[in-house]
């Protein structure tokens, strides 16, 4: 019987899990499979400094080149795992090789949601999930080029912010009536719409993309509302889908993500899952979540490693996330879904620094902090405590951030 731990998927969660398995004292063999040609790297810079060309590959790599070998990990890059045979306790790779496992970690992450409209496969229509996507998009970074970004979420807006600074004519098309509608209050959406307009990005909301036109390559985006947007390049950012198929085909329980408990255990006690691919319980909010964030991938990587090493430690934290656009650092703590009151601290209509506190029946559930790190830190702590806050005190800037807790 094998005592090897096999990790499927070589991203943020996997890199953390390797480090944590050794830190937890697991001394047995570890084998890591990733279908990309690269060792695990950070994705956030792909739509920020790496896309802008301000940092190179050496700054996005998660671990130094010799980390895996020196940690005793057998690595298989450019290798897709195609099947998990739970009865025989082995996995199969695309070339038909079988590798036995003692325990398994699924860290398969997520993939982009594709747009299914005529012309979707024209040259010049791109998505952004991996390093190779960045290279393809950067090839269009020529001053005066016209870019249409489909989707006004974080990734679309970050790409727009980088591209406009490179002298590109950028138009963002968003189906909803405001940007980032899925995750923030209209106050925050309208603030970002103002800043992007100030920086030269055109944002059109209420626009449904109906197709892409062009002979050999994309030349225009057409909308269901009758609009036509001439362009040289399109970047589509309309969300992601968790990579759950491998788990589902192996008979594991899947529900909007691979179902795991607070110890990252799937419905098979020998298999854990971590990161974007999971649906996991959160005691602070009292329901299951599927998160798309570095914080979640790191923390679940740690939790899964502890479980696999035999030291169970439950995962129960306030989710947090960030987005960098221009000189704006947006930090989001908690989940604002279901809020009953949004309280603003600072002035979102002028300047570039304020915070929105989200209360549900008086209890703090989330904050969006724009260039307001102290508010973010304080709100993260108070959200974990389910603190009841006085809206008037939050809004009163003469009361210091530290005093909000009192
Ligand atoms: P991933 O990092 O996606 O890694 C999973 C890996 O598994 C992938 O390489 C995948 O190809 C591979 N894989 C899948 N199936 C198989 C298989 N069968 N066999 C072998 N390999 C397989 N989060 C933030 O918190 N802040 C940000 O600012 C932010 N910005 C982002 C910007 C971009 C452009 C993107 C794409 C993501 C961003 N995120 C951000 C999200 C964050 O990067 C993800 O939440 C995080 O990478 C998830 O880590 P993961 O290990 O679960 O999955």
pLDDT per position as a tens digit, 223-233: 999 999 999 99
pLDDT for residue 139 is more than 80: yes
pLDDT, average across residues 268-287? 96
Q: What is the pTM of this model?
A: 0.97
Per-residue pLDDT at 405? 83
One DSSP character per residue, 32-96 reads EE-SSSSS-B-SGGGGTTTTTTSS-GGGTBSS-TTHHHHTTEEEETT--EEEEETTTTEEEETTS
Contact assessment for residue 47 and residue 72, using Cβ atoms and an 8 Å cutoff: no
Q: Is the CB of 265 under 6 A from ligand 1?
A: no
For residue 76 and ligand 1, the question of a CB distance below 6 A is answered with no
Q: Which CATH class is domain 327-403?
A: alpha beta
Supply the residue whose CA is at minimum distance from atom 12 of ligand 1.
Answer: 9
CA of 107 to the centre of ligand 1 (A): 9
| Ligand 1 mean position, distance from CA 275 (Å) | 8
List, by residue range, all CATH 3.50.50.60 domains of the chain. 5-111+240-308, 125-236
What integer pLDDT is reported at residue 27 of this predicted model?
Answer: 97
Is the CB of residue 155 below 6 angstroms from any atom belonging to ligand 1?
Answer: yes
Query: What pLDDT is stored for residue 1 in this prediction?
Result: 80
Q: CB of 170 within 8 A of CB of 197?
A: no
Q: Output the average pLDDT for the chain.
A: 97
Is the CB of 38 within 6 Å of ligand 1? no
Residue to probe by mutation, ligand 1, list 6, 7, 11, most atoms within 8 Å of CB: 11
Give the pLDDT of residue 333.
98
The response to whether residue 358 sits with its C-beta less than 6 Å from ligand 1 reads no
Q: Which DSSP letter does residue 125 get?
A: E
Q: What ligand 1 atom has the least distance to the C-alpha of 277?
A: 52
Check if 50 has its Cβ closer than 6 Å to any atom of ligand 1: no
The stretch 134-145 carries a mean pLDDT of 96
Residue 8: other Cβ atoms inside 10 A: 28
Average pLDDT over residues 156-184: 97
pLDDT of residue 180: 97
Q: What is the pLDDT of residue 47?
A: 98
Residue 173's pLDDT band (boundaries 50, 70, 90)?
Answer: very high
User: Topology of domain 125-236, per CATH?
Assistant: FAD/NAD(P)-binding domain (3.50.50)
pLDDT in tens, 339-378: 999 999 999 999 999 999 999 999 999 999 999 999 999 9
Question: Ligand 1: which of 55, 109, 247 to mutate, most ligand atoms within 8 Å of CB?
Answer: 109
Residue 405: DSSP 8-state? G
Report how far ligand 1's centroid is from the alpha carbon of 34 (Å).
11
Q: Tokens 């790190």, residue?
A: 373
- pLDDT of the residue at 19: 98
- Three-state DSSP at 287 gives strand
For residue 406, pLDDT over 80 is answered with no
Residue 294 and residue 332 in contact, taking contact as beta carbons nearer than 8 Å: no
Distance 245 CA to ligand 1 centre (A): 16
**Residue 49 near ligand 1, beta carbon < 6 Å:** no
Pocket flag, ligand 1, residue 325 (CB < 6 Å): no
| Cα distance between residue 360 and residue 389, in whole Å | 10
CATH architecture for residues 5-111+240-308: 3-Layer(bba) Sandwich (3.50)
Cα–Cα distance measured from residue 291 to residue 303, given in angstroms and rounded to the nearest whole number: 15
Query: Percent of the chain having pLDDT more than 70?
Result: 100
Pocket of ligand 1 contains residue 44 by CB under 6 Å: yes
Comma-separated ranges of CATH 3.30.390.30 domains in the chain: 327-403
Tokens 């393809």 sit on residue = 136
Atom of ligand 1 nearest to the CA of 291: 45
- Atom 14 of ligand 1: nearest residue by CA position: 108
pLDDT score of 381 more than 90: yes
């Amino acid at each position: 019987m094998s005592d090897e731990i096999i990790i499927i998927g070589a991203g943020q969660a996997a890199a953390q899990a390797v480090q944590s398995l050794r830190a937890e004292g697991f001394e047995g063999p570890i084998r890591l499979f990733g279908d990309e040609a690269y060792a695990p790297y950070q994705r956030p810079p792909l739509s920020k400094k790496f896309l802008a060309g301000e940092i190179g590959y050496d700054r996005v790599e998660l671990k130094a080149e010799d980390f895996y070998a020196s940690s005793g990990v057998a690595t298989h890059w450019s290798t897709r795992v195609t099947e998990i045979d739970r009865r025989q306790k082995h996995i199969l790779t695309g070339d038909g090789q079988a590798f036995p496992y003692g325990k398994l970690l699924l860290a398969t992450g997520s993939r982009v949601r594709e747009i299914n409209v005529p012309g979707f496969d024209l040259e010049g229509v791109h998505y952004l999930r991996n390093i190779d996507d960045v290279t393809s998009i950067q090839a269009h970074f020529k001053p005066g080029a016209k870019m249409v970004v489909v989707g006004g979420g974080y990734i679309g807006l970050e790409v727009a912010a980088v591209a406009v600074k490179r002298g590109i004519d950028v138009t963002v098309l968003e189906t909803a009536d405001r940007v980032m509608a899925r995750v923030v209050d209209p106050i925050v959406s309208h603030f970002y719409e103002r800043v992007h307009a100030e920086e030269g990005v055109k944002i059109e909301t209420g626009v449904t993309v109906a197709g892409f036109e062009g002979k050999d390559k994309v030349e225009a985006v057409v909308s269901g509302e009758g609009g036509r947007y001439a362009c040289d390049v399109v970047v589509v950012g309309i969300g992601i889908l968790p990579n759950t198929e491998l788990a589902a085909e192996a008979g594991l329980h899947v529900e909007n993500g691979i179902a795991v408990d607070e110890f990252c255990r799937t419905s098979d006690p020998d298999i854990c899952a971590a990161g974007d691919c999971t649906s996991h319980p959160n005691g602070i909010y009292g329901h299951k979540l599927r998160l798309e964030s570095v914080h979640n991938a790191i923390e679940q990587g740690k939790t899964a490693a502890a479980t696999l090493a035999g030291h169970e430690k439950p995962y129960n934290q306030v989710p947090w996330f960030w987005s960098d656009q221009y000189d704006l650092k947006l930090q989001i703590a908690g989940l604002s879904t279901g809020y009953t009151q949004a309280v603003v601290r600072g002035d979102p209509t002028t300047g570039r620094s304020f915070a929105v506190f989200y209360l549900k029946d008086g209890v703090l559930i989330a904050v969006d902090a724009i260039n307001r790190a102290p508010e973010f830190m304080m709100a993260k702590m108070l959200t974990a405590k389910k603190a009841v806050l006085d809206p008037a005190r939050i809004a009163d800037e003469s009361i210091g951030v530290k005093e909000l807790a009192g």
